[in-house]
């Protein structure tokens, strides 16, 4: 299907109700030149937030750049009537809950060590700003018009983040000990620079018996690397597999093959499981659309890839990882501590994290100058869900997960490739919440995906309205047409 839309550049997007790919053609012959002003393109801040992640990592300002770049987006939103996505009230209440939980920062959670000094106030403030910032990103993406901020452009930004993450993952395998001091360390006091003092390509850890480099760049930790990469790879498949030319599809296959190496070396079991669940989900959605051939081909390709993997050295690494749980005891102990903390303050939580008394094996084992990593572990560091339990209680955790699930449920009838991809990202973020932290990049990607899903539905409804004769149509009629499509 070919549609001429003003001076918009050529973008192939799946927005039709029947799942067909729509080609938007530049009717004026000036491809890619439209701008609403003489300045930068609208939404350029989101491009910096996504494709620019390696820069912020190198500077050591990853946690601060999101609120800074979201501020001008919020300023631009004031000029329009802002719509909100379905279930947005859940997220608004969650934001209120986070703010209110700040009153509990000095609360002494039983059997924990409270934070001292100004550091925990700063951490709480930064985390609150990050939640507000991703809210702005969601509203901006969902309210922007296709002329202002094309969906294809957003998808490409996230796809390029996948490329840079894979490239740095490979670099981590080649130069595992490479690290450097960031600009954050030189400019800010220690309280603000915590976590941004050194940029490392990899975390070298003894998990399977020998020190093994686990890719981390452009993030501080390997878990964040795997979380973000698995989400961005979905959009890379969308950008260059669904919307790309034959040449770009070949490059996509190369990217996926290369990505497999650092993904396996990351030793992230939840990411491995998440990618397998993603494949099952996509095949199931394709089957529901009646695209049985595409689903069969996808399974066939996955089967061939699985056989190739089994006969490769990577399979040995996976087997060794599964035989060495390593972090299971630590995760279980910290999960219990988060649950106990939530029971102590079930409604509003404790505002932020706390430290354990001792270690998972003995309360007598704690951090010391000779062993700074012994004991006194951070409660809430093993997953977004566990962070929410101790920081915002059972209510806060329910509101957070409830909003993500509500948006994912909203996309259940969007059988376009974009709808399937966005819904998958949201479901993966719910799954990862029990293993990995979401702030900042993974939650930003999830909110962009939610905005794309929400806007895609709006454009589908507008397309339905254009095809319908000029009669009086109620919102219920439109809803019925979308559901039946």
Q: What is the pLDDT of residues 106-151, one digit of tens each?
A: 888 888 887 667 878 888 999 999 999 999 999 999 999 999 999 9
Which candidate, 354, 387, 61, places its Cα nearest to that of 192? 61
Domain count, the chain: 2
Residues 368-418 pLDDT 10s: 555 555 557 889 888 999 999 999 999 999 999 999 999 999 999 898 999
Q: Are residues 134 and 157 in the same domain?
A: yes
Q: Are residues 75 and 14 in the same domain?
A: no
Instruction: Give the Cα separation of 45 and 92 in Å (integer).
Output: 23
DSSP letters spanning 353-379: -EEESS-SS-TT----SS-TTSS-PEE
Backbone angles phi, psi at 291, to 5 degrees: -90, 60
Q: Are residues 1 and 94 in the same domain?
A: no
Instruction: Give the Cα separation of 228 and 79 in Å (integer).
Output: 32
Q: Are residues 90 and 47 in the same domain?
A: yes
Q: Are residues 28 and 177 in the same domain?
A: no
Q: Are residues 5 and 116 in the same domain?
A: no
Decide if 379 contacts 341 (C-beta within 8 A): yes
Q: Are residues 1 and 103 in the same domain?
A: no
Helices (H), ranges, 60-188: 62-77, 88-101, 119-143, 151-174, 183-187
Instruction: Give the Cα separation of 8 and 35 in Å (integer).
Output: 9
For 299, the domain range is: 43-484
Written as six digits, the tokens of 465 are 């309205």
10-residue mean pLDDT profile of the chain (485 residues): values are: 36 42 39 48 90 91 91 91 94 97 90 76 92 97 93 96 96 93 72 63 80 90 95 96 91 92 89 90 82 63 60 56 68 89 92 77 49 69 94 96 96 91 97 94 97 93 71 42 36
Q: Are residues 250 and 167 in the same domain?
A: yes
Q: Are residues 300 and 243 in the same domain?
A: yes
């Amino acid at each position: 299907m070919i549609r001429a839309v003003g001076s918009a550049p050529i973008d192939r997007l799946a927005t039709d109700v029947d799942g067909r790919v729509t080609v938007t053609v530049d009717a004026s012959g000036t491809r890619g030149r439209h701008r609403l002003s003489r300045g930068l393109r609208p939404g350029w801040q989101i491009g910096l937030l996504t494709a620019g992640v390696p820069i912020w990592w190198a500077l050591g300002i990853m946690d601060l750049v999101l609120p800074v770049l979201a501020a001008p987006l919020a300023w631009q939103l004031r000029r329009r009537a802002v719509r909100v996505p379905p279930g947005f009230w859940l997220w608004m209440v969650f934001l209120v809950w986070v703010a209110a939980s700040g009153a509990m920062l000095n609360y002494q959670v039983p059997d924990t060590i409270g934070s001292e000094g100004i550091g925990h106030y700063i951490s709480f403030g930064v985390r609150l700003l990050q939640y507000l910032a991703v809210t702005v990103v969601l509203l901006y993406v969902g309210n922007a018009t296709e002329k202002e901020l094309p969906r294809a452009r957003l998808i490409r930004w996230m796809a390029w983040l996948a490329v840079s993450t894979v490239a740095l993952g490979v670099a981590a395998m080649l130069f595992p000990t490479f690290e450097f001091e960031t600009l954050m360390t030189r400019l800010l006091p220690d309280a603000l620079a915590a976590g941004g003092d050194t940029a490392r390509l990899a975390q070298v850890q003894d998990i399977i018996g020998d020190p093994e480099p686990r890719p981390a760049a452009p993030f501080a930790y390997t878990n964040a690397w795997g979380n973000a990469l698995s989400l961005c790879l979905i959009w890379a498949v969308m950008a260059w597999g669904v919307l790309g030319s034959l040449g770009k599809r070949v490059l996509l296959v190369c990217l996926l093959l290369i990505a497999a190496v650092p993904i396996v070396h990351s030793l992230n079991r939840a990411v491995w499981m998440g990618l397998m669940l993603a494949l099952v989900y996509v095949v199931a959605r394709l089957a529901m659309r009646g695209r049985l051939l595409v689903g069969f081909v996808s399974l066939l390709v996955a089967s061939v890839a699985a056989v190739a993997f089994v006969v490769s050295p990577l399979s040995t690494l996976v087997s060794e990882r599964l035989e060495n749980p390593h972090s299971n005891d630590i995760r279980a102990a910290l999960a219990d501590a988060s649950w106990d903390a939530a029971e102590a303050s079930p409604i509003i939580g404790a505002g932020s994290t706390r430290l354990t008394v001792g270690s998972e094996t003995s309360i007598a084992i704690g951090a010391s100058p000779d062993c700074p990593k012994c004991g006194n572990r951070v409660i809430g560091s093993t997953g977004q869900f566990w962070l929410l339990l101790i920081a915002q209680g059972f209510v806060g955790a329910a509101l957070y997960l409830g909003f993500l699930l509500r948006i994912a449920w909203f996309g259940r009838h969007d059988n376009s490739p974009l709808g399937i991809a966005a819904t998958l990202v949201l479901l993966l973020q719910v799954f990862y919440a029990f293993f990995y932290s979401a702030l900042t990049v993974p939650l930003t990607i999830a909110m962009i995906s939610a905005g794309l899903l929400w806007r895609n539905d709006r454009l589908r409804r507008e397309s339905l309205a254009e095809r319908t004769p000029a009669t009086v149509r109620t919102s219920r009629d439109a809803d019925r047409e979308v559901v039946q499509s």
